[in-house]
Amino acid sequence: MTTTHTEHKPTQVTGHTRTGGDVVFSIVNYSFFILLAVLCAYPFYYLIINSVSANDLSALGDVRLFPQGFHLSNFEQVFHLQGLPMAAAVSLARTVIGTTATVLASAFLGFMFTQERMWARRFWYRFVVITMYFSAGLIPLFIIMKNLGLTNNFWVYVLPFVVQPFFIVLVKTYVEGMPRELQEAAEVDGASVLRVFFMIYLPNMTPILATVAIFAAVTQWNSFQDTLIYVTDQSLYTLQYLLYMFINQANSLAQAAQNAGGNLGALADAASTQTPTSIRMTVSVLVVLPIIFIYPLFQRFFVKGIMLGAVKG
């Protein structure tokens, strides 16, 4: 965030330049941004207040500005929905495993591609980077995945994401900015390349790896298309996919709602009985909450990521 602050600002408005037009402009400008911020933030707020309001009220669409009949039992109840605990586990697993794999591979390859002694280094570097600019297309990819046995396979969520040219370029650029002497000194002491990587470079790459990690994690968590194309096995559905089904399949959802309510027996009164609306809202909030929490904390990494990308572009 700090990177985007401008330095020249304070001097620009002081003095005699403040005219009536300026004041009007400022009012319009501030109002415009308040409006934009509300347009971006309110939908999230709307989902959240509906997920914690009485379910009979949220089903009528009466919860608009503040939660009504506040309760948190939805978040416990949705986990009784068939398939949801599994989908949450799959989403979590692919995010953790996929992100770890992407980060380690990007760090390693970014480092290795700076090793000038490597056989045909330039060729292999281009071999990897050029894949950013073409794609065989959805169907050939689907057929190949099928031939490789990766359809209906958890690893389809991880393996295609391991080698990511863009991240490798980011890391390589970063490593090139680190002092070469680090490696030379260690090698004089007899350290192998792997040792140099793990003991010296990896621990000193954390700023760039944090950026890579946060992008990779968001991509993994949000991914929907790969489930749609490569997966029919319900035990491999992700939260995103389940949410999509919940939005479109009102009938099966009502059924699911009944089952979820049944598990709770006496507790189920009108305010806490699951409705299609309450289920959709609650699952949406489950899906979006990690992003909302993580995003402001890591915003500077996101910003750094796009800046580094821009330098390259």
Partner 1 sequence: MSSPVVVTEAVTTTLDHTPDKKGRVRADKPRRKTSFKLFLLISPFLVLSFLFAYYPLYGWVYSLYDYKPALGLSGSEFVGLQWFRLLVSSPTQVDQILQVLTNTLAISFLGLATSILPLLFAVLLNEVKITRFRNAVQTLTTLPNFISWVLVYMIAFSLFSSTGLVNDVLLDSGLITTPIKFLDTDQHVWLSMTLWSIWKGLGWGAIIYLAAISGIDPSLYESAKMDGAGRFQTMRYVTIPQLMPTYLVLLLLSVANLLNNGMEQYYVFQNAFNKEHIQVLDLYVYNIGMTGNSLSMATAIGMLKSLISVALLFSVNAFAKRVRGQSLV
Please count the residues of this chain forming the interface with partner 1, following the rule CB under 8 A. Answer: 105
**CA pair distance 293, 291, nearest whole angstrom:** 5
Using CB under 8 A as the binding rule, the residues of this chain from 164 to 203 that contact partner 1 are: 184, 187-188, 190, 192-194
Long-range contacts of 264-270 (CB under 8 A, 24+ apart): 264/77, 264/80, 267/73, 270/54, 270/55, 270/56
Under 8 Å between Cβ of 104 and 87: no
Nearer to partner 1, 11 or 251 (CB): 11
Site for partner 1 in 65-104 (CB under 8 A): none
Question: Which of 80, 82, 83, 108 lies at the binding interface for partner 1 (CB under 8 A)?
Answer: 108
Q: Which of 121, 101, 78 is nearest to 277 (CA)?
A: 78
Q: Which of residues 244-263 bind partner 1 (CB under 8 A)?
A: 244, 247
Neighbours of 173 (CB within 10 A): 15
Nearest CB to partner 1, comparing residues 137 and 265? 137
Count of alpha carbons within 13 Å of 166, Cβ hemisphere only?
A: 16
CB of 93 to partner 1, least distance (A): 17
Residue 127 Cβ, how far from partner 1 at the closest point, in Å?
7
Residues 109-148 that bind partner 1 (CB under 8 A): 109, 112-113, 115, 117-121, 124, 127-128, 131-144, 146, 148
> Rounded to whole angstroms, how far apart are CA atoms 150 and 83?
21
Kindly list the distances between the CA atom of residue 277 and the CA atoms of 58, 67, 133, in Å, as whole numbers in the listed order: 7, 15, 42
- Between residues 134 and 266, which has the closer beta carbon with respect to partner 1? 134
| Shortest CB 278 distance to partner 1, Å | 12
Smallest CA-to-CA distance from 114 within 205, 35, 50 is with 205
With tokens 């806490």, the residue in question is 272
Stretch that binds partner 1, among 5-13, 67-75, 203-211, 264-272 (CB under 8 A): 5-13
- Interface of this chain with partner 1, residues 196 to 235, rule: CB under 8 A: 218, 221-225, 228-229
We find the least distance from the C-beta atom of residue 92 to partner 1, in angstroms, to be 15
Q: Where do runs of H (alpha helix) occur along 113-224?
A: 121-129, 138-147, 159-162, 165-176, 181-188, 193-195, 206-222
Tell me whether residue 163 or residue 182 sits nearer to partner 1 (CB atom). 163
User: Taking CB under 8 A as the criterion, which residues in 283-312 touch partner 1?
Assistant: 284, 287-288, 291-292, 295-296, 299, 302-303, 306-307, 310
d(CA 221, CA 230): 17
Q: Shortest gap between Cβ of 82 and partner 1 (angstroms)?
A: 19
159-167, 170-178, 204-212, 259-267 -> range binding partner 1 (CB under 8 A): 159-167
